[in-house]
Structures are given as C-alpha cells and as structure tokens.
A and B are shown apart, each in its own frame.
Chain A
Amino acid sequence: MSISRRNFIKGSSSALIAGMLPVSMVKLAFAKPEHNFTFAYISDSHIQHIKNNQFVRNWDQGLKRAVAEANLLDPKPDFAVFGGDLAQLGTKAELDHGAEILSGLRYKNYMVMGEHDYYLDYGEYWSELYGKQYYSFDHKGVHFVVLNSILTYDEWNNRWDTAEQRMGEMAGLDNPNGSPFMVGKKQLKWLKKDLAKYDKDTPVVVFSHSPLQKIYKGWNFWTEEAEQIQKLLNRFEQANVIYGHVHQIQYNQIGNIAFSSVMSTAWPWPYPSTYAQAESHLPILTVPMNRADPFDERDATGWQFMNMHSGRTDLSFNLYSNDNRILKWNAKRNHLEDDKYQYQNNPTAPQKHY
C-alpha cells in the first residue's frame, strides 16, 4: 500500500499520455554516430490576450499540452525549439503568459521569432525575454542557424499610424494590406559569413518561421530572398530547413536542402490549394493532411520531435486526436518521405476520421 491514490493517478495518467507518444525511436548505425540525437519542436501557439487576466483558453491548452507531452519524451531530447508566433498580437501580456507556459519545458529551449511576436515593437520585448533575433550554434557536429525571416520592407513598416495598427495588419494571414516576409540585407550578409566558416560536409539545420521557399504569396507562405538563401545552403551536402508559420504538414526537397514544416499548437490552416481563387505551389512531395474536425478543438494541431541522424532529420508529428505521422529521410531517393503514405504506391490521405 505504499502507492498513494494520488501517486497512482499521476503515474497512470503519465503512462497513458506516454503511450500516445511516438517514443519508439529508430536507432540506426551511421558513419558518424555523434550526429545522432533528438530534439523537440513546438511552434505557433498564438497566445491571445482577451482582457485583464483572461486569455483564449483554446490556444493556451494547445501549448500547455505540447509542453507536458514533450516533457515525457524518453529518451530525453538534447534540446527543444519553439518555432515562432508565441503571441497573437505581440503584447507584453501575451509574451509573458506564453513564456511562462513554455518555461515548463525541462530542456534547453531555442527560440525563433514569428511575425506575431515582432510587429508591435519590432521584437523588442521578445528580445528582452529571449535575446538575439538571429543566431547560430553547434551541437554534436551539426551547425544550427536560427533566422528571423519575418522582416519586411521599411516602406511598409512606416506606412502605419500606430504600432497596434502595424501589428494588426500583419497579423491577418489573408490581409491584402500585408507585406512579404524577408530576412533583409544585413541578416543575409551575416548568414553568408556564418556559413562560410563551415565545410561542405558539415550538416546544417536552419530554423526559420517562414518557409525559405515560395509556396503561396497571398498567405505569406513565402520568403522574398528564398533563392538567395537556398543558394547559400545548397553548398552543404546535408542542409535542412525547418519552418513554422504554415500550421500544416509540408515537405520538399530542393537540391541538397530538405524542407519540412511543423504544426501549430493553436489551430490548423487549410492548404492554399483549397482557396478557389488562387494558385499555390505546394511541394509535390507533400502528402497533405485531411481537413480538421472543427468539433475537436485540438484536431490537426500538434507538435513534433526530430530524430537527427547522419545530418538528416526525421520528423515525428505528434498530432492530437489524429494518427501521428512520421517523415523519414529516404537515402536512396534523397528526400523526406512519409513512412506510410507516398504518392507512388499509397496516395490515400493519411487521416480519414473526418
């Protein structure tokens, strides 16, 4: 009778949650085993302030759940990354509230800037909390670069009467008054210099908020200098870009660069191809998700953990209320591939419960 009821409940619920996690990691032997490690990735929580001490419950729940589940990973990941858009309108209240939930993570956490964190005060308060807006670091032989890819033209920044108006205009994904994302000349110069220090056989992983490829400009699934950045990355034999912003599964291969998106913990977005009035360029490799069940507020949201091996990143999408999906690096075909669903032999959409 040494197990108290309280501890038993705590233990059993942890086991239940752990059972839902994709904790069985594939161990493979590689030439450079020091390149093998895992990390957790949470993104796009959009913590939204209502008034006083009230925040939108739905978005809070998504982030809380991701943090709680990521803490249960076993073996423990080497670190965690938050992929941007912690806040909805970049206020101190939202950033503080989000930072507090995120501080529950038991791992070293690297932060990426999103447009919703930035456009109220050009990321000033975010920087007070998290430091530099773009930076790089090395981990077990892999070079990691974190970009602030949501900058835009000065002319657009100066167009608005108030900071709130500027933030509001950029916060609307489909707002025709918005402006394309970019890294800007200064950061591009920094990136060039940063990457020049590394040999072409160093695995490189870039974390950005916007896709460093051009998918659909209307919703800013886009980065202005995509081609220039790709040119810099393509020199490396193993380059990887992981981006947030899109709230859906996307993956692509351009030259040596493997691109993959991450999920939002807040809400899913439709694929641009579902917008009847516009054309999009969804990467051909992507097996899309089915549309979400609106009656389940967590469906088609989630977080992911990454298995880094031999310079490439496998992604496990931990999808709440839905079948998890795994993207694995296919060394023969040289691109990421869903471990179950490929266009060639199994075009069925992976989630069919709705």
Chain B
Amino acid sequence: MKWLTLILLIFLVPGQRIVADEFSEKDVERWLAQFEIVAKEGRQLWVSPKLGTNGVACAQCHPNGANTHPETYPKFQKQLGKVTHIWEMINWCIKNPLEGKSLAADDPKMIALQAYIYKERKGVALSPGKH
C-alpha cells in the first residue's frame, strides 16, 4: 500500500513530472551557426596553401569540394585495400599532392574540412559503399 501511494504521488502530483530535454528555434539557429562557423573554417583550410608544405591547396583539384563524393563513404577504397572513411582519403591527399602531415581523425581541422565538403554536397542522397 505504501508503494502504491508513492507511485501515485510521482505521477499525479503536479510539478513532479519528469520531462526530456527540449530545444527551441533559437537553439537550432545557434547550433546551425556553430556548424557554419566550422564549415567556413573548413573552406579556409580548403583553399589554404599552408595545409600541406608545397603550397598546393585542396581546391586546386576540387573546386567547391567537387569530386570528393562524401556520400559514398565508408567504402572499400581499392588503392588502400580496406573500407575507409573520407577522413582517411583527406589525409591521403594531404600527404601526397600537398606533401604535408596527416591529421588525427578528431583534429578540429579534419572536422572542419569534412564540414565544408559535406556542406557543398548537401542534398545528395547517402550511398555508402558506392563506386
């Protein structure tokens, strides 16, 4: 009887209701703005001659991030002999055409580069594994 009273109290007493976290339009705006800031940083890195060591920038071969196919990852990358995500291909480009040092997967620069690429590819259907 004691337990039943307790349960009833939890559910029926006003102000004691447990609710999930809610977000407002203002929150969404703020979060999108955060994304845009990072994507903008990504664009700056994309055109930067300083991401690598030889002055070559990502945008030289990939204007507007084109021909990077972010929607197809993860996929089997024949030349690497395994299923990879796009950040590994970005590192491949940094190391080879840009003659630079690879970035950690969670390096803020790597996140920014991906934010930019995905933004330019917005609206294209996901197609993991596609060649």
Please give the number of chain B residues whose Cβ is less than 8 angstroms from any Cβ of chain A in the complex.
24
Q: For the complex, what is the distance from the CA of A48 to the CA of B93, rounded to whole Å?
A: 17
Q: Which of A273-324 contact B (CB under 8 A)?
A: 274-278, 291-295, 297
Taking the closest CB of chain A, its distance from the CB of B125, in whole angstroms, is 11
* Residue B108 CB within 8 A of the other chain: no
CB contacts (< 8 Å) of A275 on chain B: these are: 63-64, 66, 120
CB contacts (< 8 Å) of A56 on chain B: these are: 54-56
CB contacts (< 8 Å) of A48 on chain B: these are: 54-56
B56–A270 CB distance below 8 A: no
A277–B63 CB distance below 8 A: no
A50–B54 CB distance below 8 A: yes
> Which of chain A's residues has its CB closest to B57's CB?
A172
A274–B67 CB distance below 8 A: yes
Q: Which residues in A have some Cβ–Cβ distance to B below 8 Å?
A: 46, 48-50, 54, 56, 58, 172-175, 218-219, 267-270, 272, 274-278, 291-295, 297
CB contacts (< 8 Å) of A291 on chain B: these are: 67
B63–A174 CB distance below 8 A: yes
Taking the closest CB of chain A, its distance from the CB of B87, in whole angstroms, is 15
Interface centre among A49, A268, A291, A295 (most CB of B within 10 A): A295
CB contacts (< 8 Å) of A292 on chain B: these are: 67
Taking the closest CB of chain A, its distance from the CB of B22, in whole angstroms, is 33
Interface centre among A56, A219, A267, A297 (most CB of B within 10 A): A56
CB contacts (< 8 Å) of A278 on chain B: these are: 64
* Residue B4 CB within 8 A of the other chain: no
> A267-B61, A270-B62, A278-B64 given. 6 additional CB < 8 A pairs?
A50-B53, A173-B59, A174-B64, A270-B67, A272-B66, A276-B123
Q: For the complex, what is the distance from the CA of A291 to the CA of B123, rounded to whole Å?
A: 21
Main secondary structure of the interface of B (DSSP, over half): loop
Supply 12 A–B pairs (Cβ within 8 Å), ascending by A: A56-B54, A218-B64, A219-B63, A267-B61, A269-B63, A274-B66, A274-B67, A275-B66, A294-B89, A294-B93, A295-B79, A297-B96
B54–A270 CB distance below 8 A: no
CB contacts (< 8 Å) of A269 on chain B: these are: 61, 63
> Which of chain A's residues has its CB closest to B79's CB?
A295
* Residue B122 CB within 8 A of the other chain: yes
Indicate with 1 or 0, residue by residue over B70-90, a CB within 8 angstroms of chain A CB atoms. 000000000100000000010
CB contacts (< 8 Å) of A267 on chain B: these are: 60-61, 97
Q: Given A58, A175, A276, A297, which contacts B121 in the complex, CB threshold below 8 Å?
A: A276
| CB-CB under 8 A for A172 and B59, given A58-B97, A276-B124 | yes
* Residue B47 CB within 8 A of the other chain: yes
Interface centre among A46, A267, A268, A274 (most CB of B within 10 A): A274
> Which of chain A's residues has its CB closest to B131's CB?
A354
Q: Which of B26-78 contact A (CB under 8 A)?
A: 47, 53-56, 59-64, 66-67
CB contacts (< 8 Å) of B122 on chain A: these are: 276-277
Taking the closest CB of chain A, its distance from the CB of B91, in whole angstroms, is 12
CB contacts (< 8 Å) of B47 on chain A: these are: 172, 175
A277–B56 CB distance below 8 A: no
CB contacts (< 8 Å) of B60 on chain A: these are: 46, 173, 267
CB contacts (< 8 Å) of A49 on chain B: these are: 55
CB contacts (< 8 Å) of B61 on chain A: these are: 267-269
Q: For the complex, what is the distance from the CA of A291 to the CA of B66, rounded to whole Å?
A: 11
> Which of chain A's residues has its CB closest to B53's CB?
A50
Taking the closest CB of chain A, its distance from the CB of B94, in whole angstroms, is 12
Q: For the complex, what is the distance from the CA of A270 to the CA of B121, rounded to whole Å?
A: 14
Interface centre among A49, A173, A272 (most CB of B within 10 A): A173
